[in-house]
Amino acid sequence: FESKTEKGISWTVVSPIVFTYKVTESRGLLDPSNDTLLLGHITDSQQLEDLKKSTEPIKRFVVIDQEVYKIYGAKLTEYLETNNVLYKILALPTTEENKSMEMVLNIVEEVNSFSLDRRTEPIIAIGGGVCLDIVGLAASLYRRRTPYIRVPTTLLAYIDASIGAKTGVNFANCKNKLGAYIPPVASFLDLSFIKTVPRRHISNGLAEMLKMALMKHRGLFEILEEQGHMLLDTKFQADNSAYGNNCLQTASQATYIAITTMLEELAPNLWEDDLNRLVDFGHLISPALEMKVLPSLLHGEAVNIDMSYMVYVSKESGYLTEEEKQRIINCMVELELPVWHEACTMELIQRSLQDRLKHSGGLVRMPLPMGLGQSIFNETSCEILHRAHEKWCDE
């Protein structure tokens, strides 16, 4: 739109940006007969048909967490070679301590040497949330936007990092201070990867599931409350032992609800234009706590400590009964998640909330549980925050 004033001409540009991406569950992603990893992102039927008929080899650049590579490297290599793929595999130590621009630049240098077509040859990221975040940022920077695919190998990444648009790395001792909102062209979810994940990391992922349960879905809370320990024991796999045959059904139901509720929140607000975000529950204090005690707490553990404190804030605000508060805390303990940490002082809480004010339009916009499976946004008084912290520490 053009407008003229005495100072000159001004143009206002309104450019709608639409992102379309697929989140697909597919068992046996590394089975050579399953072409989802190579072709599952393609939505144009003619393009898909042409690719299948072509004698030219498919070209793929794969970034994989080095611990995941130790377990699945041989299987991944066999998959790519059986499918006649021209490939490069880059195995990296994608940990929270290494989540930096240095690693992003390392990836883009390797991608540049491999010489990808930025339209038709997506970069594939295989690993936990840190790996998916780093590769996503590298892809969004290389030639301004190169398509990429996410394959989560941890529970937390499966129901959280893999299905949204956020990418990022840590900077200036702050979590994800550099990043972009560029979603993958596809996320491919294979629950069988979870069977090789250590028990603590299963627990870590359950924290993000519990977040969505408390904010949006009482039914999911009840599944976690009643069967969370079974999910921990069976690692979300089919199991014929003491638990019988319903393990996989429960695992599928729990992950389905967690993903659906997460996408319901993310899809209309992919760029976080609306700052009232239910998915921020557990993420007000946890970033500062996680960075302060790195590497002693996993992401989900720090989130759960934040949620645990906020449950006390909610109780003191009159949104939860004592019984509901206790049920939530007991559920957390049953999921083998930490519910308190000595580093989560009142000073750290106040500093985190002050920082939140700077980036949330002058309001804390604190999501709190209101009963089980419902939520409210609240500007809580200092008196309630202090009282809740005192009780939380005492108990």
3-class DSSP string for the chain: CEEEECCEEEECCCCCCCCCCEEEECCCCCCCCCCHHHHCCCCCHHHHHHHHHCCCCEEEEEEEEHHHHHHHHHHHHHHHHHCCEEEEEEEECCCHHHCCHHHHHHHHHHHHHHCCCCCCCCEEEEECHHHHHHHHHHHHHHHHCCCEEEEECCHHHHHHHCCCCEEEEEECCEEEEEEEECCCCEEEECHHHHHHCCHHHHHHHHHHHHHHHHHHCHHHHHHHHHHHHHHHHHCCCCCCCCCCCCHHHHHHHHHHHHHHHHHHHHHHHCCCCCCCCHHHCCCCCHHHHHHHHCCCCCHHHHHHHHHHHHHHHHHHCCCCCHHHHHHHHHHHHHCCCCCCCCCCCHHHHHHHHHHHHHHCCCCCCEEEECCCCCEEEECCCHHHHHHHHHHHHHC
1 within some domain: no
**Position 240 confidence tier, pLDDT thresholds 50, 70, 90:** low
7 within some domain: no
Residue 174 belongs to a domain with what CATH number? 3.40.50.1970
My answer on whether 253 and 233 are in the same domain is yes
Residue-range definition of the domain harbouring residue 384: 199-394
**Position 358 confidence tier, pLDDT thresholds 50, 70, 90:** confident
Q: Please give the average per-residue pLDDT across 100-118, as a whole number.
A: 95
**Position 59 confidence tier, pLDDT thresholds 50, 70, 90:** very high
Query: At which of 196, 228, 259 does a domain end?
Result: 196
Q: Given this model, what pLDDT does residue 159 score?
A: 96
Structural domains of the chain, count: 2
Two structure tokens written together for 371: 């009963």
Return the active site residues: 166
My answer on whether 303 and 364 are in the same domain is yes
Two structure tokens written together for 380: 């809580």
My answer on whether 57 and 178 are in the same domain is yes
50 within some domain: yes
Q: Given this model, what pLDDT does residue 210 score?
A: 98
Q: Please give the average per-residue pLDDT across 97-112, as a whole number.
A: 97
5 within some domain: no
Residue 390 belongs to a domain with what CATH number? 1.20.1090.10
Percent of the chain with pLDDT over 90: 86
My answer on whether 227 and 256 are in the same domain is yes
Query: At which of 171, 196, 221 does a domain end?
Result: 196
**Position 276 confidence tier, pLDDT thresholds 50, 70, 90:** confident
Query: At which of 132, 164, 196 does a domain end?
Result: 196
Two structure tokens written together for 337: 């998640």
Rounded Cα distance, 268 and 14, in Å: 18
Q: Given this model, what pLDDT does residue 16 score?
A: 85
372 within some domain: yes
What is the tens place of the pLDDT at every residue in 138-197? 999 999 999 999 999 999 999 999 999 999 999 999 999 999 999 999 999 999 999 999
Inform me whether the pLDDT recorded for 13 exceeds 70: yes
What is the tens place of the pLDDT at every residue in 18-29? 889 999 999 999
Supply angle C-alpha 139, 303, 162, rounded to 5. 30
My answer on whether 305 and 169 are in the same domain is no
Nearest to 327 by CA among 284, 371, 360, 383: 371
* Per-residue CA distances from 121 to 116, 147, 285 (Å): 6, 7, 39
Inform me whether the pLDDT recorded for 348 exceeds 70: yes
My answer on whether 242 and 321 are in the same domain is yes
